[in-house]
Amino acid sequence: MRVLSGIQPTGRPHWGNFFGAIRQYISLQEEHDGFYFIADLHALTTVRDASALRQNTLDAALDLLALGLDPQRATLFVQSRVPEVSELCWLLMTGAGMGLLERCHAYKEKKAKGLPADAGLFTYPVLMSADILAYDAELVPVGQDQVQHVEVCRDLAGSFNHTFGDVFKLPKAQVMTDAAKVPGTDGQKMSKSYDNTLPLFGDEKQIRKMIMRIVTDSRPMEEPKVPEDDHLFQLYRLVAPPADVEAMAEKYRRGGFGYGEVKKGVADASEAFFGAARQRRRELEQNLDYVTQVLDQGAEKARGEAAAVLLRAQKACGLR
Ligand code: ADP
Ligand code: TRP
């Protein structure tokens, strides 16, 4: 089955991104034909600095490869390297009702806050639809926040097919149900907008310091606690081996431990958990030719597929 997902290169990835999204995309490469791209055209709606966008795009590729995306199994490419998608976007744009797009949350929320929106943000779901339809994707793994956009894609594809014949395959969203569950350093949902993230990559000492500064409650040490209710434990559980998690849970239930000890546990476990990926990323940084080659090959393959779909759509609507 063709599985496709896009990741916006808008900043350094954090634990929430990994455990809530990236990990699932990558595991799907084992059994499916994975197409993964870095959505630089979408990022352009928010990143308005050329060198930042260029750097973020390369960083995203390094991150994904370091985290285990395997170019032998899956296709990795940069969205803008497939211009056919932008052309397909126009074809879809002509049938996209204003009302449908006005209901989409990214635009609606910005407008509600009184922030200026542009046509790029307004038509963001149409470009996302073109991303999906251009590769005949069947399954689209996304976080809860993107499900609405996949629904828009199905609407646009369905109405195009209705008007012009059977051109597009209708995709299904696969919601990653454990998304939105990773807590940040202050206990709220981890998000770059709350400034409470733990990065996946970076200086280990710095990351350790961030872990040691995680906010904890002030209940007395002796008091037994419910491990699952504590965000520090929730973080530990993500990175520690199951036997250690059970031993830690037991300490919580018994009481008489200090949060400092748990934090140290989180830091040690996270270094072990992400150690290989961090090492791999350092190696990739020294081997950018390889990364460029992967992205070139990915783009070439993706373009071939998108060109065929575009041609099908052009013929159907009378452009050829
Ligand atoms: P941020 O909230 O930091 O801006 P994004 O919206 O860029 O994060 O997140 C991209 C994807 O990462 C989301 O679609 C979601 O699936 C996942 N994600 C982000 N934060 C979390 C979190 N705290 N817990 C679980 N998943 C998350
Ligand atoms: N909009 C998605 C996000 O912000 C990224 C994206 C762009 C995407 N095109 C896509 C995801 C196509 C899935 C399919 O997370």
Report the pLDDT value the prediction gives residue 21, as an integer from 0 to 100: 87
Fold of 192-281: Tyrosyl-Transfer RNA Synthetase (1.10.240)
Residue 39 Cα: closest atom of ligand 2: 7
Cα–Cα distance for residue pair 97/99, rounded to 1 Å: 5
Report the pLDDT value the prediction gives residue 74, as an integer from 0 to 100: 97
| CATH number for the domain running over 2-182+288-317 | 3.40.50.620
Report the length, in residues, of the chain.
Answer: 320
**Does any ligand 1 atom lie closer than 6 A to the CB of residue 6?**
no
Q: Residue 163 corresponds to which tokens in the numbers above?
A: 């008007």
Is 110 among the residues known to form the active site?
yes
Cα(273) to ligand 2 centroid in Å equals 27
Report the pLDDT value the prediction gives residue 253, as an integer from 0 to 100: 95
Residue 128 Cα: closest atom of ligand 2: 9
Cα–Cα distance for residue pair 45/28, rounded to 1 Å: 28
- Could you say which ligand is closest to the alpha carbon of residue 140? 2
CB 39 within 8 A of CB 7: yes
**Does any ligand 2 atom lie closer than 6 A to the CB of residue 42?**
yes
Cα–Cα distance for residue pair 40/53, rounded to 1 Å: 7
Is 172 among the residues known to form the active site?
no
Average pLDDT per consecutive 10 residues, the chain (320 residues; last block may be shorter): 95 92 92 97 95 97 98 97 98 96 91 90 97 98 91 98 98 78 93 94 95 92 92 96 96 93 97 97 98 98 98 97
**Is the pTM here over 0.85, yes or no?**
yes
**Does any ligand 1 atom lie closer than 6 A to the CB of residue 143?**
yes
Report the pLDDT value the prediction gives residue 144, as an integer from 0 to 100: 83
Cα–Cα distance for residue pair 36/61, rounded to 1 Å: 10
**Does any ligand 1 atom lie closer than 6 A to the CB of residue 23?**
no
**Does any ligand 1 atom lie closer than 6 A to the CB of residue 208?**
no
Q: Where are the domains of the chain?
A: 2-182+288-317, 192-281
Is 192 among the residues known to form the active site?
yes
Report the pLDDT value the prediction gives residue 181, as an integer from 0 to 100: 81
Closest residue by Cα to atom 6, ligand 1, is 191
**Does any ligand 2 atom lie closer than 6 A to the CB of residue 89?**
no
Cα(225) to ligand 2 centroid in Å equals 39
Report the pLDDT value the prediction gives residue 178, as an integer from 0 to 100: 56
- Could you say which ligand is closest to the alpha carbon of residue 179? 1
Catalytic residue among 181, 189, 264, 301: 189
Report the pLDDT value the prediction gives residue 45, as an integer from 0 to 100: 92
